């Protein structure tokens, strides 16, 4: 009897599943946000950016990340979003290639795909939204150190690995600006040392640099791993050298408060989520297609343009590559007033 009942129940369930049909069609735009891992404060901050935009633009959004930070976890979440009929998927990918298949299926169903923070390979997305181009990252740091030391004196760079392409690209832009921009005419660039993203090596290299150049006024360290070592060394030596760079707020808070750093930088996940939302809505409304040359407005940040992706080629120069990207070109500044609110996030 129970078996009969269970079979009847199962059949009823099957019929019900087939028979169900849409009753009300909500008009609001639905965005599915996928990030690398749940419970990560960086992505929780990014979600507040989506939230702010959702109130301004009137869309609804869901957000989730796998708890193990895996690609197949992201695939599960994306498949759930597809079956819920989202209009846009905004994803920060754990692996650029692993999601391509499922995202191509999404695009085939008319869903727009934006990668933000961590890119998806070009064939699996409509647009990539990133915080800052290499050039703006380089120039922001140079401008900051110049301001800190009053526009004149010796400066140096403590980089990561000598072979790191992104580091070398940034250093290239800094060297170029130093050579050509009259604003930096009074800065003397004494060279770059490499700390290999190791704390002790970065510390020792910085010590060598300070001993070699007693008149050194400023150090740029465009590496989150090297930053704290450089600042610690300067603090230990008691020199009046200013340090800036791309660093985590949590690493640098004590040095910012000690006056070693006037300001350091990293991108702002809140603004990244906010800008990705505006890009998503512009894509759905057809205001942009994700092709190079498109432009969309993001309040407080400005008009963002869609550019052809440029990758670092064999020669170390930027070369055009597949896919389109749009940069916020706005870095998050940590100084003595703001660093505390970022310590728990970055």
Partner 1 sequence: MKQRLKRILLSWEAMLIVVFAIVCVAFNQQDASRQAAGLSKKDVFNLASVIKSMRPYMLYSFMTLGIALILAMGDIDISAGASAALSAAMLGILYKTMMDAGVPSGLSLALALVGCVATGTLCGAANGFLVIRFKELFPMIITLTTQLFFRGVAFLLLGGGTLTFKNDKTFDLLKTLYNTVTIGGISIPIVIIVFLAFAAVFYVWLHLTANGRRIFALGTNSKAAYLSGVRTDKIKFTMFTICGLLSSVTAVFFVGATSSSIRADSMVGYEMYAIAAAVLGGFSTSGGKGSIVGVVISLFLFGVIKIGLGTLYGFADSMVNMSVGVILILSTLLPNVAAQINAAGRVRKRRASSLV
Where on the chain is the footprint of partner 1 (CB under 8 A)? Answer: 1-3, 5-7, 9-10, 12-14, 16-18, 20-26, 30, 38-39, 62, 64-68, 70-73, 75-77, 79-80, 83-86, 95-102, 121, 124
Phi, psi of 291 (to 5 degrees): -90, 155
Task: Sort residue 170 into left (φ over 0), alpha (ψ -120 to 50) or beta.
Answer: alpha
Q: Work out the burial of residue 263: count CB atoms within 10 Å of its CB; fewer than 13 is exposed, 13-18 middle, 19 or more buried.
A: buried
**DSSP 3-state of 256:** helix
CB of 92 to partner 1, least distance (A): 14
* Minimum distance from residue 64 beta carbon to partner 1 (Å): 5
Q: Smallest distance from the beta carbon of 167 to partner 1, in angstroms?
A: 18
- Vertex 263, ends 259 and 264: CA angle to 5°? 120
Residue 76 CB, nearest approach to partner 1 (Å): 4
- The Cα–Cα gap between 66 and 78 comes to 11
Q: From residue 193, how far is each of 1, 16, 67, 210 by CA, in Å?
A: 81, 68, 39, 11
Q: Is 251 helix (H, G, I), strand (E, B) or coil?
A: helix
User: What is the SS3 assignment for 305?
Assistant: strand
Nearer to partner 1, 26 or 238 (CB): 26
Q: C-alpha distances in angstroms, 96 versus 4, 67, 136, 306, 316?
A: 50, 18, 24, 20, 22
Element spanning 142, H or E:
helix 134-148
How near is the Cβ of 125 to partner 1 at its closest, in Å? Answer: 13
Q: Rank residues 70 and 310 by Cβ distance to partner 1 and give the closer one.
A: 70
Round the CA-based radius of gyration of the chain to a whole number and report it: 24
Q: Which is nearer to partner 1, 111 or 328 (CB)?
A: 111
Q: Least distance in Å: CB of 31 to partner 1? A: 11
The residue length of the chain stands at 346
Query: CB-wise, 106 or 219, nearer to partner 1?
Result: 106
Shortest separation between residue 13's beta carbon and partner 1, angstroms: 4
Residue closer to partner 1 (CB basis): 48 or 136: 48
Nearer to partner 1, 108 or 315 (CB): 108
| Cβ partners under 8 Å of residue 70, min gap 6 | 94
Q: How far is the CB of 39 from partner 1 (least distance, A)?
A: 7
Q: Is the dihedral of CA 220, 224, 226, 232 positive or negative?
A: positive
Q: Name which of 151 and 165 has its Cβ closer to partner 1.
A: 165
Q: Is 335 helix (H, G, I), strand (E, B) or coil?
A: coil
Measuring CA to CA, how many Å separate 286 from each of 112, 203, 277, 280? 11, 51, 14, 10
Nearer to partner 1 (CB atom), residue 22 or residue 303: 22
Q: Which residue has 């197949």 as its token pair?
A: 72
162, 194 contact by CB (below 8 A): yes
Residue (83 or 303) nearer to partner 1, CB:
83
What is the nearest approach in angstroms of partner 1 to the Cβ of residue 104?
Answer: 8
């Amino acid at each position: 009897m129970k078996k009969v009942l269970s079979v009847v129940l199962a059949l009823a369930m099957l019929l019900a599943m087939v028979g169900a049909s849409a009753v009300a069609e909500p008009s609001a735009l639905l965005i599915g946000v996928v990030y690398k891992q749940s419970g990560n404060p960086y992505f929780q901050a990014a979600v507040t950016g989506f939230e702010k935009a959702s109130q301004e633009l009137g869309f609804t959004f869901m957000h989730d990340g796998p708890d193990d930070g895996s690609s197949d976890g992201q695939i599960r979440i994306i498949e759930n979003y597809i079956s819920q009929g989202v209009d846009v998927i905004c994803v920060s990918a754990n692996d650029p290639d692993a999601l391509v298949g499922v995202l191509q299926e999404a695009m085939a169903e008319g869903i727009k795909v934006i990668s933000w923070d961590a890119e998806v390979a070009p064939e699996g997305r409509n647009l990539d939204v990133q915080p800052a181009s290499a050039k703006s990252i380089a120039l922001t740091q140079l401008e900051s150190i110049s301001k800190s030391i009053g526009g004149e004196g010796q400066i140096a760079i403590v980089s990561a690995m000598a072979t790191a392409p992104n580091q070398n690209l940034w250093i290239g832009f800094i060297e170029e600006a130093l050579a050509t921009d009259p604003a930096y005419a009074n800065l003397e660039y004494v060279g770059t040392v490499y700390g290999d993203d190791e704390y002790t090596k970065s510390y020792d290299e910085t010590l060598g640099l300070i001993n070699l150049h007693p008149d050194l006024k400023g150090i740029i360290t465009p590496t989150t791993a090297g930053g704290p070592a450089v600042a610690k060394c300067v603090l230990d030596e008691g020199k009046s050298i200013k340090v800036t760079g791309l660093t985590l707020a949590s690493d640098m808070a004590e040095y910012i408060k000690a006056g070693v750093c006037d300001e350091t930088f990293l991108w702002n996940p809140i603004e990244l989520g906010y800008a990705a939302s505006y890009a998503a809505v512009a894509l759905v409304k057809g205001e942009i297609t994700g092709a190079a040359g498109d432009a969309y407005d993001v309040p407080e940040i400005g008009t963002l343009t869609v550019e052809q992706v440029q990758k670092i080629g064999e020669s170390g120069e930027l070369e055009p590559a597949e896919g389109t990207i749009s940069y916020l070109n706005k870095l998050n500044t940590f100084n003595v007033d703001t660093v505390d609110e970022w310590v728990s996030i970055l």
